[in-house]
Amino acid sequence: MSERVKGIRTPIRLEFEHRTGDAATRFLYGMADGKILGQRCVECGRVYVPPRGSCPRCAVVTDAEVEVSDKGTVTTFCIVRVPAENLSFDPPFVCAHILLDGADIPMFHVLDGCPLDDVRMGMRVQAEWVPESERAASFHSIRAFRPIDEPDALFDSFKDHL
């Protein structure tokens, strides 16, 4: 008997269609307009960005729409060093969870405009929007977040959002 097969290499392709709900649709159209929209829970007051349509803590519909700032605080981050075909940034680059001012859940996006060694928790950043003529109902309406000239946020101000 020959050696047992432990794996094979084969091409694979997955196609799928995702249908957004009402909350995500309004969020994405807001991005096309240069606005970041979230939804506030009427029970606990938390603002979810991107909105989910309901509060996972209170199990109630979140239909109170709120516009939040395009400025925020880096809560956590990672340095991506592995290339992939569908990435618009060449490695290495930083992906970060950014707690936008006015939101209660960090948003995941790319951080650009500073050396990798300078990225840190608490760093203040702002969205770099693509030109208005290139905006679409997509996360790609924000090219990346960039550091801004503001003091770092204190750990206590974002520790509950990690």
Residues in the chain: 162
Q: Tokens in use for 114?
A: 């500073």
pLDDT of 92-135, one tens digit each? 999 999 999 999 999 999 999 999 999 999 999 999 999 999 99
User: How many helices and strands, by DSSP H and E, does the chain display?
Assistant: 1, 8
- pLDDT of residue 17 exceeding 90, the answer is no
Angle at 103 between CA 19 and CA 46, to 5 degrees: 85
pTM of the model: 0.86
d(Cα 159, Cα 103) in Å, to the nearest integer? 14
pLDDT band at 7 (very low <50, low <70, confident <90, very high): confident
For the chain, the maximum distance between any two Cα atoms, rounded to a whole number of angstroms, is 68
d(Cα 100, Cα 36) in Å, to the nearest integer? 9
Mean per-residue pLDDT over the chain, rounded: 93
d(Cα 28, Cα 137) in Å, to the nearest integer? 4
